[in-house]
Amino acid sequence: MKFILTTSQGIEDLAKREVEALTEKAGLNGKVEEKPFGVEGRIAAEIEEAYYFDEKRKKREFEIASFLNENSKLLHRVILHISSTRLNSSEKEKALQEIYDFVLNTPIENYVKVSESFAVRSFRKGEHEFTSVDIAKTVGSAIYEKLSKIGTPKVNLDHPSVIFRAEVINDVFFLGIDTTGDSSLHKRPWRVYDHPAHLKASIANAMIELAELDGGSVLDPMCGSGTILIELALRDYEGRIIGIEKYKKHLTGAKMNALAAGVLERIEFIHGDATKLSQYVESVDFAISNLPYGLKIGKKSLIPELYMEVFNELSKVLEKRGVFLTTEKRVIETAIEENGFKIKHHRLIGHGGLKVHAYVIS
Ligand X SMILES: C[S@@+](CC[C@H](N)C(=O)[O-])C[C@H]1O[C@@H](n2cnc3c(N)ncnc32)[C@H](O)[C@@H]1O
Footprint on this chain of ligand X (rule: CB under 6 A): 195, 197-199, 222, 224-225, 227-228, 244-247, 250, 273-275, 290, 292
- Least gap, CB of 348 to ligand X (angstroms): 17
Give the whole-angstrom CA distance, residue 150 versus residue 148: 5
Q: How far apart are CA 37 and CA 14, in angstroms?
A: 18
Residues ≥6 apart with Cβ < 8 Å to 156: 117, 118, 119
Q: 280 vs 40, 245, 273, 362, CA distance in Å?
A: 41, 12, 9, 21
| Between 183 and 279, CB nearer to ligand X | 279
CB atoms inside a 10 Å sphere around CB 295: 11
Complex with ligand X: residue 198 or 321, whichever CB lies closer: 198
The pair phi, psi for residue 333, each rounded to 5°, is -65, -35
Q: Closest CB to ligand X among 114 and 197? A: 197
Rounded to an integer, what is the distance from CA 337 to the centroid of its chain? 30
Q: Looking at beta carbons, which residue is closest to ligand X?
A: 224
Q: Of the two residues 81 and 250, which places its CB atom closer to ligand X in the complex?
A: 250
> Shortest gap between Cβ of 167 and ligand X (angstroms)?
27
Q: Which CB atom, from 156 or from 279, has the smaller least distance to ligand X?
A: 279
Shortest reach from residue 5's CB to ligand X, in Å:
23
Alpha-carbon span 101 to 145, nearest angstrom: 11
In order of 230, 284, 323, the CA distances from 316 in angstroms are 25, 10, 16
User: Could you say which DSSP state residue 23 is in?
Assistant: H
User: Which among 225, 189, 219, 232 is positioned nearest to 282, based on CA atoms?
Assistant: 219
- In angstroms, give the least distance from the CB of 110 to ligand X: 41
**Residue of 160, 86, 63 whose CA lies nearest to 120:** 160
CB of 325 to ligand X, least distance (A): 8
Report the alpha-carbon distance of residue 34 to residue 39 in Å, rounded.
Answer: 8
Minimum Å gap between C-beta 321 and ligand X is 18
Helix, strand, coil % in the chain, rounded to nearest 5:
35, 30, 35
Closer Cβ to ligand X, 119 or 303, answer by number: 303
CB 277 → ligand X: shortest distance, Å? 8
Shortest separation between residue 101's beta carbon and ligand X, angstroms: 44
